[in-house]
Amino acid sequence: MSATVHATRPQPLWFIENLAYVHLDCDDTGGAYHLGEVVGRRGDMPPLHVHHRDDETFYVLEGELTLFLGDQQLTLPAGQAALAPREVPHVYRVESEVARWLVITSPAGFEEFVRAIAEPADHDELPPEGRPVDPQAIAQAAAVVGIEVLGPPGTLPQRS
């Protein structure tokens, strides 16, 4: 595997309610991991889900996230990171007006899900609020890469 340097910023993508970028994918890392960047607005929560094939790391660059991870609730301000291991149901919520974070999944593959449901964005800006989202399409695309949707946005993991 040779070094990969991208001369330009990746295509901005409207991924569910977020702005996302795929910085490194399966081809760039020999399948070892994916590196993405996500921007979300206050209150954003994806569907409750579990990764069966990969571990997911969150590293907050700006703002604050709460990560609901199994029976844990972790506050992640800028400069903090947390690992959501495979087979552990999780979801995040954006707590600040806007948050920006890195997502690293290992092994790679999550980027296929992002690209399958995202729409190319013309500019580096969040998608319009209230944009229609198809939960069934999200669940189907997620299943292809080993992610199981367990509940709609706002659903938290069951506490033991």
Going along the chain from its start, the domains and CATH numbers come out as: 13-101+113-123+135-153 (2.60.120.10)
CA dist 65 → 78, 96, 134, 160 (Å):
9, 7, 24, 22
Split at pLDDT 50, 70, 90, the class of 2 is low
* pLDDT of 1 strictly over 90: no
pLDDT at 130: 86
Task: Please tell me the distance from the alpha carbon of residue 115 to that of residue 110, in angstroms, as a whole number.
Answer: 9
pLDDT digits 0-9 by tens, 51-95 = 999 999 999 999 999 999 999 999 999 999 999 999 999 999 999
